[in-house]
Structure 1
Amino acid sequence: MRRTLRVAAYAVVVREGQLLLAQARDDDGRPEWVLPGGGMEHGEDPYDTVRRELEEETGYLVEVTGLLGIDSGRRTLPGRFRRPADHHGLRLLYEGRVTGGELRDEVGGSTEHAAWQPLDAVPRLDRIRLVDTALRLWRERPASGHLEAGPR
């Protein structure tokens, strides 16, 4: 089985009790909320990745204020030409603060819409698991940057 690795960087940006999220489509075309961020380009520092991706997906310039932790997971993906792939995703999760720019939707990218969502409404949103993981890291701030098994 082919093996693939994707390293990505995302940010938790909270302002006035609201979380900045982006909306994308899942594999079946349904909208779901995701953290702004995305894959590193070859040779790019993850610190620069998260700042670039936030601007692309939301229109905001952000200051990275801390590293919250790392989320790592494996799953089997269908792959090209019906050849499955053992995929390993490594996601660096930062905390950020808006320093400029204006909220806007991404054009021609992986997300369709950017919006502030009330923190207390997030559990009712259709969202990917990473949103919950990132919020746990943001709330709990484990010194190791790693979450112990528990509610997601």
Structure 2
Amino acid sequence: MREKLRVAAYAVCVRDGQILLARSPAPDGTPEWVLPGGGMEHGEDPYDTVRREVTEETGYRIAVTGLLGMDSSRHVLGRRRLRPPTDHQGLRIIYEGEIAGGELRNEVGGSTDLAAWHDLTAVPGLTRIRLVDIALRLWRERPTDGRLRTGPEARPLPPQMNTE
């Protein structure tokens, strides 16, 4: 079995009770909302990655205002065209950012096709990837160790979120 590690950096940008999200097609073609951000290039600092990716996907330049935490996921991807299965691990670094310039626009020819602000209270009704919920919990709870509680005490994103 092959092993693959992907490191990526994402930003939670919240202002006036809204969060900035980008829309990306899922593997089945259904659009889903994601945090602006993406994969780190070899030799790139994650801080630079998040700023580059947010600009590419939304048109905005951001100031990184904090490190919220990290999320790690692991799953096995099936066999593809005579290749063995891949044990894939994703390490996702989640920053907090605020808009420092630029103008909202959609990415052309990239992994996303639309960037938009969404009311925090509307997020639970959006078709979104799990990382959006994880990042919002990190943003709200701000655990000192950058890790979310797991197990029975961990709850899914509530319908009414704290927008402070």
Same fold (TM over 0.5): yes
Aligned length: 152
- Structure 1 gaps, min length 5: none
Task: Confirm whether residue 39 of structure 1 aligns to residue 59 of structure 2.
Answer: no
Alignment deviations for residues 84-129 of structure 1 (CA, whole Å, 9 cap, x no partner):
1000000000000001000000010000100000000000000000
TM-score with structure 2 setting the length: 0.91
Q: Secondary structure at the match of 1:92?
A: strand
Q: How far did residue 151 of structure 1 move? A: 1.8
Alignment deviations for residues 39-74 of structure 1 (CA, whole Å, 9 cap, x no partner):
000000000000000000000000000000000010
Q: How does 1:37-116 map to 2 (within 5 A)?
A: 37-78=37-78, 80-81=80-81, 82-116=83-117
Inter-partner Cα distance in structure 1 for 2:141 and 2:116: 24
Moved over 4 A (4+): none
Q: How does 1:110-129 map to 2 (within 5 A)?
A: 110-129=111-130
Inter-partner Cα distance in structure 1 for 2:32 and 2:134: 16
Which residue of the other structure, out of 149, 152, 155, is the alignment partner of 1:151? Answer: 155
Inter-partner Cα distance in structure 2 for 1:79 and 1:127: 26
Q: Which has the larger radius of gyration?
A: 2
Which residue number in structure 1 is paired with residue 159 of structure 2? none
> Which amino acid letter does the alignment assign opposite residue 94 of structure 2?
L
Using the TM superposition, name which of 71-80 and 131-140 deviates more: 71-80
Aligned-residue Cα RMSD (Å) equals: 0.9
- Decide whether aligned partners of structure 1 residues 79 and 50 sit closer, same or farther in structure 2, where only a CA change above 3 A counts: farther
Q: Percent of pairs identical after alignment?
A: 68
- Decide whether aligned partners of structure 1 residues 109 and 79 sit closer, same or farther in structure 2, where only a CA change above 3 A counts: farther
Which residue number in structure 1 is paired with residue 161 of structure 2? none
Inter-partner Cα distance in structure 2 for 1:110 and 1:83: 26
TM-score with structure 1 setting the length: 0.98
Q: Secondary structure at the match of 2:13?
A: strand
Using the TM superposition, name which of 60-69 and 73-82 deviates more: 73-82
Which residue number in structure 2 is paired with residue 131 of structure 1? 132
> Which amino acid letter does the alignment assign opposite residue 115 of structure 2?
A
Which residue number in structure 2 is paired with residue 13 of structure 1? 13
> Which amino acid letter does the alignment assign opposite residue 132 of structure 1?
D
